[in-house]
Structure 1
């Protein structure tokens, strides 16, 4: 008898990635995709995926994990709980934030977050370096970190503890250009937000529903335009995070037409929620920045997917609905004192699969491009995101007919689910990370700390 050739083989499935669909088998050996085809030799383990869809593991490049916010509130999720949740939703790679605050050395921040992730992460992982202080030796630290493979930088144009002034932004962009790094931007005009917030509070408008008005759409429009012009001036490669407006889309489109090196993303909450959700009795659950916008904005975001908007992320920002999180300043706190963010890691892929594949809105190839292939390519994660021999065997087997009503809580440590009660069609049941089955039929089989750090190559 011929001995098994592969560690395992997934047979009879529909294989899909950003290039399209094909029927066939996929073989795994030593953590990598070893072969794709029909009638492959036997594996030590065989998985029959007849009637199932096999896709690359998700790559979520916008996650806040075990991070202290600028307001001094710790995320609800550790690396263990956040990445556990990610695996159950089919995401096998995460990029979270090594968050520098003023007075901290970039090298020390990276060391601290690396230790936390090494101990707890169950997905493979990389970091964006939040740069909030360019003084002293921090630019030297930044150069060193980029040369070591941390090739993504995050900057803010708003928030007291982390925002950079324009001269600091330009210095950071020039460093990134010289070193071959990507700069991600939270782009909102700080003065517009401050002025709008002060006016609302003076009028006694303090409820969660008033949060939307405190972040005027013009705050996004102005800052996105400015960051595009800064990219144009410096030649730096820039990713605009969480586009939420029709006008933001148009600015990105026009910048690219001029040859500016701009990328842009949106997030699941902008695609599935509008600002009306903040008017619910539990509106604090849904606060995020920028806020959700109008139905017209949401329609424009869907139309821009795969064009101006190259990826969809979760912007997972988990805070519990108690005094440790959302209500640190009391349950009757005004909206500026309520922690901003929603959990999103676990449901990013299932929500989009239901809308794009099950409902036929975009199709499997674009679903994979927006959630796996595109993020991996843009951020230089070269072993991730596609079903290609030699790539990491990060695989998700989806049951396209499984109907699943979303529960009140997920596998994270947040305690609530923003999409509870919604019914989805299509759900992952088996998840493979680097050739190891980490979720099997709803059971977690990964161990904390089994994830690996990902070196970002020069993005492109």
Structure 2
């Protein structure tokens, strides 16, 4: 008699804390039992020689986000989640972005319409707050947090998104009261604007000068300021896409003071460098993102931060703009000055293999740390644990089965996103997910997507563990 819907046998199961040889029994989309010689399943997978890992949680990616007129993101919730699944990710958290003058509630409602019936894996939403009006601060944002949108992002740069320090403080105060997690894009907008004008006046407008307009000090200053504002309000924050040494040193200082400052980094800061912006012709536009990749020596500081625990989250920051597209990296069909190149690089499908190969494979991080950075800790950070981010009895059966020895040369034509390039073209990695399960259903097998479009479910998030309001004891 069948005891399980599916049994994964003979694999090496790894979580953020343990590595064990055991079978995994799945029933009704959840992990029902872990043990040796489990009873039969209706379907069985032999994972001998394979790693059985929690499905990845990509807690920072952009899908079908509303853009200014003339620009369009290439990936919607269908192509984006298919690509994520084929890279071993089973949960994504993109952004419901508020435009200035727009209700925050309207932005969330619009994003639900964009996602409806398309996702093949589960998803939650962060919010982006760009217009913190009194209505947003007093009514919309608190209510949305209580409904399960428990994290939001704020920007210190980009003219259509940036907030001043007073606005940031007002939002941090709401986060403290409601228990939300605040994500901060930390770059000094005025420094960037001034440097950009100086470069343009000198005729230096090629893609490579994007990095010159955003040196590490503009990230360092904004990171320092964000930490100070967080300290003033006494609320945790997460600094997103940290690129290098100078911001890392600010975060390390904050940790030394006992401040609750969390940090995220991304693949582009581990394997790309400023040299990738200096490709022939206009091809450097493919790697224009903010903050930009730094020099090669800087990559070691990011690896050290991943190994030491300075970083809590490893995300893709997938921002899918096609290269040869008048609605993408060539606005209006033109090779434009760096100021006007849409920022971002694609990476949903390559996030996990790059970190596994360059991190675990080269001995920079161990397997448990890999799982923590890519699944467990982001699930905890955004209120989805233990439903997501681990392999435990009662958790969703979101599982990626990895062949740790599979060698793959990354080519854009093997990926499942709707972008016409990958910045990692030609890079060889060792280790790749060969089967991905979402709630016990196979959604990708041997590079072939097989999840039903629309099967993905929206996830209302609980209060993030690091951001739960502190209890106040009155004597």
Does TM-score exceed 0.5, indicating one fold?
yes
Deviations 1:212-239 (A, max 9, x none): 0011211101110011011101012201
Aligned-pair distance for 1:387? 1.3
Residue 391 of structure 1: aligned partner: 395
Partner SS for 2:360: helix
Give me the whole-angstrom Cα distance separating, in 1, the residues matched to 2:314 and 2:151: 17
- Do 1:7 and 1:30's aligned partners in 2 also have CA atoms closer than 8 Å? yes
2:197 is aligned with 1:192: no
Q: How many residues align?
A: 458
Partner SS for 2:109: helix
Residue 47 of structure 1: aligned partner: 45
Structure 1 stretches lacking a partner, 5+ long:
none
5 Å-filtered alignment, 1:14-413, equals 14-69=12-67, 73-139=71-137, 140-281=139-280, 282-306=283-307, 307-321=309-323, 322-382=325-385, 383-409=387-413, 410-413=415-418
Aligned-pair distance for 1:126? 0.9
Deviations 1:384-415 (A, max 9, x none): 11111111100011111211111133201111
2:446 is aligned with 1:441: yes
Aligned-pair distance for 1:330? 4.0
Give me the whole-angstrom Cα distance separating, in 1, the residues matched to 2:347 and 2:72: 17
Aligned-pair distance for 1:247? 1.5
- Do 1:118 and 1:451's aligned partners in 2 also have CA atoms closer than 8 Å? no
**Cα gap change, 1:433/1:43 in structure 2, threshold over 3 Å: closer, same or farther?**
same
Aligned-pair distance for 1:128? 1.1
Give me the whole-angstrom Cα distance separating, in 2, the residues matched to 1:70 and 1:353: 36
Give me the whole-angstrom Cα distance separating, in 2, the residues matched to 1:414 and 1:423: 20
Q: Which moved more, 1:232-241 or 1:330-339?
A: 330-339
Aligned-pair distance for 1:177? 0.5
Moved over 3 A (4+): 69-72
Aligned-pair distance for 1:416? 0.9
Partner SS for 1:304: helix
Aligned-pair distance for 1:98? 0.3
2:456 is aligned with 1:451: yes
Give me the whole-angstrom Cα distance separating, in 1, the residues matched to 2:211 and 2:48: 46
- Do 2:7 and 2:26's aligned partners in 1 also have CA atoms closer than 8 Å? yes
Aligned-pair distance for 1:104? 0.6
Partner SS for 1:404: strand
- Do 2:8 and 2:45's aligned partners in 1 also have CA atoms closer than 8 Å? yes
- Do 2:70 and 2:332's aligned partners in 1 also have CA atoms closer than 8 Å? no
Give me the whole-angstrom Cα distance separating, in 1, the residues matched to 2:262 and 2:130: 22
Q: TM-score, normalised by structure 1?
A: 0.97
